[in-house]
Amino acid sequence: MELTSLLEPLAGTSETALALVVMLLPLLSFFVLIFFGKRLPRHGDWLGISMMLLAFAVSVWLFALTWNTAMFHSRINWFSLPAFNGTFAYFTAGILLDNLAVLMLVIVTFISSLVQLFSVGYMHGDEGYSRYFAYLGLFTFSMLGIVLVDNLLLLFMFWELVGFSSYLLIGFWFKRPAAVAANKKAFLVNRVGDIGLLIGLFTLYTYFRTFDLEALRTLINSGNWAGGVFTLSYILNGQPWLVELSSLLLTLAGLGLFMGCVGKSAQFPLQVWLPDAMQGPTPVSSLIHAATMVAAGVYLLARCYAFFTIDALTVIAVVGAITALLGAVAALTQYDIKAVLAFSTTSQLGYMVMGMGTGAHDASLFHLATHAFFKAALFLNAGIIIHAMHRGLHHTHQPENIDPQDIRNMGGLRKVMPLTFYTYLLAAAALVGLPLFSGFLSKDAILAGSWAWAQTMSLNGNSFYYIVPVVGFTVVLLTAYYMGRHMWFMFFGNFRLPFNVEELRLTAKREVEHVMALPVVLLAFLSLGLVFSTNPFSFADSWLMNGISLEVLSADSRLLAESLIGAVHRQDEANHTAHIVFGVVSALLGVLGIGFAISKYRNKTREALSQEKPQSTFAKLSYNHYYLDQFYNRALVQPTLLAGRVLYRNDKWVIDSLLNNGSKALVVFSKVIKYFDTLIVDGTVWLVGALSRLFGYVGLYPQNGKIQSYFVYSLFGFILIILYIIVF
Amino acid sequence: MNFILSSLICTPLLAALVVLLMPGYLQKPIKAVALLGTLVQMGLSLLLYVSFDGNAYADGRSGYQYVEKLNWIGLSLGSLGQFQIEYFVGVDGISVSMVLLTGIVGVIGVISSWTIQKQVKGYFLLYLLLLTSVMGCFLALDLFLFYLFFEFMLLPMYFLIGIWGGPKREYAAIKFFIYTLVGSLFILIVMIGLYTSVIDPQATARQLGLVGNGVPVPVAVILEVQQMLQDNTIATTDLVRTFSIPAMMDSANFIPDSLLHIMSDVTLWDKPIRFVAFLLLFAGFAIKVPVVPVHTWLPDAHVEAPTPISVLLAAVLLKVGGYGLVRIVYPVFPDAAAYFSVFVGGLGVLSIIYAALCALAMNDLKKLIAYSSVSHMGFVLLGLASLTTEGVNGAIYMMFSHGIISAMLFLVVGVIYDRAHNRMIVNFRGLASAMPAYTAFVVIAFFASLGLPGFSGFISELLVLLGGFRAPEATGLLPRWLTIVAVIGLLLAAAYYLWALQRMFFGKYWIFPELREQAVISDLNLREYLMLVPLAILALLFGIFPSLLLNKIGVAVTGFSELVLQNGQEQLNIVLSSIL
C-alpha cells in the first residue's frame, strides 16, 4: 500500500477553515487580554465571553454541517526532513472534522462559554480578573486543538499546552502555597503520563513513519495478524517496507498511549493530582477538571482505538475499573464539597476508561458527553454554595478558620437556596444514574458493554473477567451513597454554623446573580435523559450514541483488536433482553445507595453531623486517599531528591576534589622539581664554580710576586727533573 | 557577498581595534562602538542565513558555500613533503545555524553588558575578541585555523570571568582555563597525528603538475591522485600535507602506512590507534560541551561569570563543543563513531539524567540553570550518536534552540541578581507579586526550556528522542532503552523548574531580611525588555515554524549522517581487521 500519497497535503475547505477560526478565537482573546486586559472596560471579560460565544455559534454551525453527513479533512506539510537516499520524512499538520470532533467542539465551546459567564459573577473583584479570562482563553484554544487536529504529534502538543494552561489556572491564586504546590504536582504527574504517551508515539512513528491518524488507521487496516505477529507492508517514497510487529510490542505501544490517558484522565495510579487540582477557582474545576480536560484522555483512547491490542484493552478495562472503585470509595468519606466531586470525577472517568477497555467505545464517549454536562453543573453549583458560604462568613464576621467548603458546616441550604438545590438535585440524579436522567443511559450502556465483554472473554473458562462488570455495578451503589450523603449534609437538616442561614443569600429576593444562575439552569436541563434519547429508558435509541459508534467513525477500517470487539458487539446484541435487567438492577442499586445514606444520616443530630470525623481504619484510608500521596512522596519524590544531593556531592567531593587534589599534587611535584633544580642542578653548577675558584686560589697562592719564591720554585722544579731522569 | 564570512570574523575585530584606540573614559562611545560592531555582525549573519541555499547538497565533506581559501603558510620540507596551512572558511547548513545564533546572542550580550562599570574599555575589547574567535570557530574549515580560534577563545574568557566575575572568580577562571586547556591538548595531539597522515589531493595534483595553478581541479584528477597515493606512487617530496578538515573526512586522502590510515595496525591499549584518536578528540570537545563527568567547570564558571558572559558562555561557547563533534570528530573518524555510538549516546543520557538530578538539589538559581544546560547538551550527544536524520537534525536544533533559551534563562537570573545582589532560591518567595512582568518572562523561559510545545525546545527534544528511539531500526546504533531512560529527563526538567518557580516566585511575597536594605525590587526596565522580548519571540517562532531552521540545515545534516553512517560501517570492518 502506498503511504506517501496518504500524507500529501489536502486542500482546505471552508468547514476546516471555520474550525480553525473557532480554535483561534479563544487564542486571540488570550493575547488581547493578557496584554491589554487591564486597560479594557470591565477588564475585558466581555471580550472573552463574546469570543467564546462566537466560537460556540460557529461550532454549532459546523456541527450541523458535519453531523452524520460528511467528513472534512485538510492537511498541510508542517515540516519535512530530508532522509537517507533522497527521501523525506514528513511531519504534517491538519484539521479533521468528523462526528466525534464536532461533538467535542460543541461541548467544549458550550461549557466554556457558560463557565466564563458564570465567572463574571464568581470572580468579580478579583485582582487577576483579566488574567483569569486570558488563561481560560488559552485553555479553550488548547483543548480545541486536541479535538480538531488530525495527527498524534499535534495532539500531543496541544495535550501539553492543555496541561500548561491547567497549571496556570490551578495556580491562579499564586499567593496561596497550597495552590502552587497543587499546580506543580498536577503538571509533574501529567508529565509522567506524557512520557508514556511520547514513547507510544515514538513506537508508532518508528514502524509506521507517520503520526497522521487516518494514515495510521489505513495502515492498520492493511495489515494482518498471523500467528501472533502483525504484518503489513507499505511503500514510502518509492521504497517498499515490510513491518512485522509482535503482539507484545504493539501491546506495549498501546499501553504507552494509554499512559497519557492515565495521567490526564486521572486514572490509577496517577489519579493523585486531581483532588489537589481543586485549589483552582471553582469554575475552573468545573470546566477543566471535570468536563473537558480530564476527558481528553478518553478522547485520546477513542481516537487511537484501532491501535490497541486485546491485551492492551484488557489492561485498560482493569485500570478503569480499579479507578472507578477507588474514586468512589474515596468519595465516601470526604467533607470538602469539591473533594467529593473530584473523587467522583475520577470514578466516572474510570467508568469511561473501563468502557473503552471493554469495547463499549460509543457508550464511553456518550458517558463523556453526559458527564461533562452534569458534572459541570455540580461544580458550578458547588461554586455558588462556596460563594454563598464566603458571603455568610464575611457578613457575620466569623473566625477565619471556618472552612466555607466543608459540608459539615452547611445544612438546610435547601430552604434558602432552592434554585441551587433543584439544579444540584437534577445533576446529582444524573450522576447517580437514576432513570430519566442522562447518566442512566450512558452508564447503563457501559455496564451492558462490560457485561458482554466479560461473557466473551470468559469463553475460555476463566470467569475472573466478570470482576470488571461487577465492580461497575458496585460503583453505582457507592456513587448513590456518597451523593446521598453529600446532598444530605448540604441541603437537609438544619444549618450548622452559628448565624442565620438567610445571610447566605445575595439579597432577600435573590439567592444568586443571574450570570451564575443561567449556566447552572442550562446545564441541569442537559442532565435530563430526554435530551439525549427519545426513549429515556434505552440508550440504544440515543441519537448521540449512534452518531459516535465505531461503525460511523471508522466505517471501513479494522482495529488491532477486531476479533474481540466484533465478538463483544455480537454478544451485546444477543444480550438484548438482558439490557432491561441491567437497567433495573442499576436503578435499584442507585435507589438503594441513596436509601442507605439517608437512613444513616437522618437521625443524626446537628452536633453529630458537624463533628463527624472518619473513625474506622477503612474510613481513614478512604478519607486520606489510601495514603497514596505519602507513599509516592516516600517512594519516589524523596529518593529522587536524595539522588540529586548525592550526585551533587559527587561533583563536589569526588570529581572536583580529584581535580583539586590533582592540581595540588602537581604543585607539590613542581616544588620537588624546584628543589631538584636548586639543589641538584643549580648545586652542580655551583659546585663546578666553587671547585674552579678553589683551584684558582690554589694556583693564585704561589704567585705572590716575590722573586725569591720564584727562585725556590724553579730550583724545586729543576731537582724534580733531575730526579725523574735518574729514576726512570 | 564574496567576503561575507571574512567580514563576519573581522567585524568585531575591527570594532575591537576602534575600542582599543579610544580613551578609556569615553564609556558611552565605547559601548556604542561595541553595539554597532555586534549589530553589523548580526546583520551580516542574518544576510548570510537568508541568502544561504539550504537545498544545495552538502555532506560535511563537500557542498560548502561562500568558501574563501587562501594559502597562508606554505613550506617545502624536503623529504617530509609540503607543509600547508590555509585560511579556509566556508559554511554549510550545520554552521550557518550557529553563525546566526552567534550574531543574535552577540548583540543581546552587549545590551546586557550596558551596566558594566569596571574598566569598560578592557571589558568590551575582550568581549569583541571573544566574538571574533567564536565566529572563527564556526567558519573555519582548516583544522589549524579552527584550533587557533578555539584556543584564542580561552584568553578573553579567562579575563572576563577573572576580572569582572563574582567573589570566587579567580578559582572559577583558573578552573575553566585548565579544564579547557587540557581538552585542547588532546585535540592538539590528534591534530598533529592527522597532519602527519593526510594530504590535500588538490594541492598535490598541482604539485605534481597534473593541473595548472588557478584552474579548478577536476574530480577525475582528484580520484587519480588518491589512487596514486594509495598505490604509493607519489614521491614523498610531492605530498602536500594539509590541515583541511574536508580532506581529513576522506579515507582515500590518508597516506598508506601513516599513523591514522584506516589500515594502520598500530594499537594503543589494545585499541586501534584511530579509536584512541577518536576518544582523545572526543574528550577534548566533550569538556567544552560539557559532558558528565567532565562538566564541573561549568557550574562554577557560570556562577562567577557576570550575566552577559554567562549568556555568551551558555548560548554560544558550549555550542563550539557540540559543533566540533559534528564538524570534526564524527566525519573524520566515522568508523570509531559507529564503534563508540553506545558510549557517546550513553554519556549523553548520563548527562541528561545526572545533571537534571543535580539541578534538583541546587539552591542557587544560576547554578540550577547551569546544570540544566549540561542536561540539555546531553540531548545533543544522544541525537548525534543515533545518526538518524531526526536525531542529528534534533541535535543541531537543540544547539540552536538552547542558545536562544539559555540566553533567556541567564538573563532572567541576572535581573534578580542586579536588584538583590543575591540569587539563592531560599532567600525569595512570592516574587510574582512584586515583579509580575519579570515572573511572566521567567515562566516563559522555564517552560520553553522544559520543552513546552510551541517553543523551540520542544521540537529539538522531540526530534532527538524520535531519532534515538528509531535508531535501532534505522541505523542499528543505539539500544532502545537508552532513549527511554532519556525521556525521563523531560520529567526531571519539569520538576526542577516548577519547584524553583514554586519556591521563589509564588506564595506570599517575602525576601530574606538581610537582603531588604540593599535590594531594590522593581519590575523589568526597558533595557531588559529589549533583550527578553526578542528572545521569547525567537523561541516561539522556531517552535511553531521549525522549517525556518530545518530548511537550512536539513540537507546538510542528512548528508552528514548518511556519510558518517556509510563510511563508518565500511571503514569499521577494515579498521578492526587491520589490527588482527
Q: What is the rounded average pLDDT of the residues B550-561?
A: 91
Beta-carbon separation of B558 and A659 below 8 A: no
**How does the average pLDDT of chain B come out, rounded?**
90
In chain B, how long is the greatest CA-to-CA distance? Answer: 81
Beta-carbon separation of B490 and A79 below 8 A: no
Of B390, B454, B470, the CB nearest to A161: B454
Q: What are the backbone angles phi and psi of residue A526, rounded to the nearest 5°? A: -75, 0
Beta-carbon separation of A175 and B507 below 8 A: yes
What are A537-548's pLDDT values in tens digits? 778 788 888 888
Distance, first Cα to last Cα, chain B: 52
pLDDT at A82: 87
Q: Is residue B137 part of a domain?
A: no
- Taking CA–CA distances from A256, the nearest residue in chain B reads B484
A645 to chain B, minimum CA–CA distance in Å?
5
Q: Which of A67-71, B207-211, B224-228 has the lowest mean pLDDT?
A: B207-211
A552 to chain B, minimum CA–CA distance in Å?
32
**3 state DSSP class of B462:** helix
State the sign of the Cα–Cα–Cα–Cα dihedral A334, A335, A338, A344. Answer: positive
Residue B18 pLDDT exceeds 80: yes
In chain A, how long is the greatest CA-to-CA distance? Answer: 156
A721 or A239: which leads in pLDDT = A721
Q: How many CB pairs under 8 A join A and B?
A: 140
B497 to chain A, minimum CA–CA distance in Å?
10
Q: Is residue B351 part of a domain?
A: yes
Q: Which of A16-30, A371-385, B222-236 has the lowest mean pLDDT?
A: B222-236
3-state helix, strand, coil in chain A (%, to 5): 75, 5, 20
Beta-carbon separation of A648 and B361 below 8 A: yes
Q: Is residue B223 part of a domain?
A: no
Q: How far apart are CA B307 and CA A436, in angstroms?
A: 67
Q: How far apart are CA B480 and CA B484, in angstroms?
A: 7
Q: Is residue B50 part of a domain?
A: no
Beta-carbon separation of A206 and B453 below 8 A: no
Q: Which residues of A touch B363 (CB under 8 A)?
A: none
Distance, first Cα to last Cα, chain A: 119
Residues facing A257 on adjacent strands: none
What are B121-162's pLDDT values in tens digits? 999 999 999 999 999 999 999 999 999 999 999 899 999 998
Take residue A286 and report the three cell numbers written for it.
468545573
Residues facing A94 on adjacent strands: A75
Per-residue pLDDT band at A555 (split at 50, 70, 90): low
Q: Is residue B451 part of a domain?
A: yes
Q: How far apart are CA A56 and CA A59, in angstroms?
A: 5
A516 to chain B, minimum CA–CA distance in Å?
29
Among B182, B357, B473, the strongest candidate for a mutation testing the A interface, having the largest count of A CBs within 10 A, is B357
Residue A195 pLDDT exceeds 90: yes
- Taking CA–CA distances from B440, the nearest residue in chain A reads A34
From the list A365, A366, A364, A408, the residue with the least C-alpha distance to A389 is A408
Query: A29 to each of A41, A168, B88, B343, how far by Cα in Å?
Result: 14, 16, 53, 50
Take residue B487 and report the three cell numbers written for it.
525521556
Take residue A448 and report the three cell numbers written for it.
451492558
Q: Is residue B171 part of a domain?
A: no
> Quick check: ipTM above 0.90?
yes
Q: Is residue B295 part of a domain?
A: no
Of B502, B508, B558, the CB nearest to A184: B502
Find the length of chain A: 728
Of A177, A199, A644, the CB nearest to B484: A199
- Taking CA–CA distances from B357, the nearest residue in chain A reads A644
Take residue B223 and report the three cell numbers written for it.
580520484
* Chain CA centroid to CA A217, Å: 25
Among A651, A654, A657, the strongest candidate for a mutation testing the B interface, having the largest count of B CBs within 10 A, is A651
From the list A372, A373, A363, the residue with the least C-alpha distance to A539 is A363
**How does the average pLDDT of chain A come out, rounded?**
90
Q: What is the rounded average pLDDT of the residues A480-508?
A: 87
Q: Which residues of A touch B296 (CB under 8 A)?
A: 651, 655-656, 659
Of B358, B498, B506, the CB nearest to A174: B506
Q: What is the rounded average pLDDT of the residues A358-367?
A: 90
B447 to chain A, minimum CA–CA distance in Å?
9
pTM for the predicted model, two decimal places: 0.92
Beta-carbon separation of A188 and B495 below 8 A: yes
pLDDT at B180: 87
Q: How far apart are CA A469 and CA A6, in angstroms?
A: 40
Beta-carbon separation of B507 and A174 below 8 A: yes
**3 state DSSP class of B10:** helix
Beta-carbon separation of A81 and B430 below 8 A: no
Q: Is residue B524 part of a domain?
A: yes
Q: How far apart are CA A310 and CA A562, in angstroms?
A: 9
**3 state DSSP class of A95:** strand
DSSP-assigned letters across all residues of B41-62: HHHHHHHHHHHS-TTS---SSS
Residue A612 pLDDT exceeds 80: yes
Peptide bond into B513 cis (omega under 30): no
Non-local CB neighbours of A521 within 8 Å, separated by 6+ positions: A419, A423
Beta-carbon separation of A651 and B358 below 8 A: yes
Per-residue pLDDT band at B89 (split at 50, 70, 90): very high
The DSSP symbol for A264 reads H
Number of structural domains (chain B) is: 1
Residue A602 pLDDT exceeds 90: no
**Is residue A558 within 8 Å of A232, Cβ to Cβ?**
no
**Is residue B124 within 8 Å of B40, Cβ to Cβ?**
no
**Is residue A483 within 8 Å of A594, Cβ to Cβ?**
yes
Beta pairing class for B510-511 and B271-272: unpaired
Q: What is the rounded average pLDDT of the residues B361-379?
A: 93
In one-letter notation, the amino acid at residue A23 is M
pLDDT at A643: 93
- Domain carrying residue B452: 340-544
Of A156, A158, A655, the CB nearest to B296: A655
Return the H-helix or E-strand segment holding B322: helix B318-324
Find the length of chain B: 580
From the list A173, A168, A186, A400, the residue with the least C-alpha distance to B508 is A173
Q: Which residues of B touch A176 (CB under 8 A)?
A: 507
